[in-house]
Structure 1
């Protein structure tokens, strides 16, 4: 009886261990997915990004933005990387929200290095996820462990990108809807918007707030008047300026910190979608909580939301493929 009881206890422990493993690997993603098939995969990504960022620090923000724009369409499946090969279907790259994306050549470089080390093993989708994490770290932001095992999608449509990527002109209702479509809540909305603490934006993304907010040549009253005047005088001098760039987080646009949220409370969020975070009591409360807490609280919460976004609608197992070249589906 004692032996039988011992076996029962052991069986229970094993069952719990397997259950825990299943929960940990929910969605088919696992920490250290390439541990055996390509043990240096994450190191290759990290070292390559470090070399590039040391030469061009401005690349970090576009690489992070690329990850967002990928994950909001059919999950994080690297569909944003696909080139158009047929006049019958324009890919996400050609959608208006993605025309200012850059860093595709960097992703191609990482992929070529991984293909040389471990042919047909590491997905482009996982490369984009790992690069986004390392780009944040390179700007002084948080590190988090990225579960891997994503596979690459084979479908990419510009219309889906246009309809699902939150535009900078979004009001709160639109933001809430588009984030909810990805299984992301209001807390995620505030945290992931915090990515605007690094990088730049083209005047065309917000110049309507300066010159033609409601279509009658007016200025957005939600934008601080002094800030608006400075933008008009020194940066975006006309509604038609499509080339000038402006720091998203002036004075701190290469450092991952809390100053973006401080600017929101001063009515100096650059996009209408930034300003929208202060128009809802729940999101405004959370912005204040972030500012009242230590920087590490923001880092931890941001990392959690990034991992959550990275798990939504991913392709794993036998779904999708491992592309040989990130810009093209396998023939």
Structure 2
């Protein structure tokens, strides 16, 4: 099947199914498990489409470790964004004279999902979150290392022919720690297997097309959020939120195209979802983070985050356009 038709099938199924789960979640927003399920739908649809149309295994998304640099950039990116947003927020506070625009909350209390009684105040929450972040990354590093070292392929080659199928069981077993630590629905990995490991990969030879598709699609995937109790009734803020997601799709795509592995994108997604709400507040719940004030302006998924990601997206798109122009110019005429 041509890539264009396959892409349309994937987008239609992924969005319709995710919107269905999103509508179910909106009936009772306390059912956070539905959000995790919703985040995994792109992976389920991607695996189904890849097998139905191309007989591709899930590992085609890129499970191997491809170097530390994409991983390190993925880890650093949310903090770079946070620092830029904080800088813009304090600059606006100084220019406007509004001390309530942004302020540090040193005694802010954070509850973590491991236990309802497990909470930390202020900066110690960062230490616990950092420890949890490392624990969450370790099972992904295990899988990436296993595929880099070709353990499943080596096992298949070492087994007698009647038992060679056991390499499939070994591949599945490599993900057991992920399900044990992240839960039955590892949402960040699920999204990245779909949006980047499938959709961007299909158009990897045409980055401008890849981002032109994933920008509106990834934003559309988040539509149920704007109907939640924390966001509904604020159309301007809703539009900024969706635009920030669309802009962020560009650096996510660039990271996948650079690393050719789904893991750096998953690391970036996880790091973003952890650090942005802890430091800058949570636009999904409306709760402040270590910094309070106009969270819906200076958050990484609000106006200042949109500015940061849009500038980076514009730079990346300009680079890709120049590369495309050079490629066309180098082709022989006729």
**Normalising by the residue count of structure 1, what TM-score does the alignment of the two structures yield?**
0.23
**Normalising by the residue count of structure 2, what TM-score does the alignment of the two structures yield?**
0.23
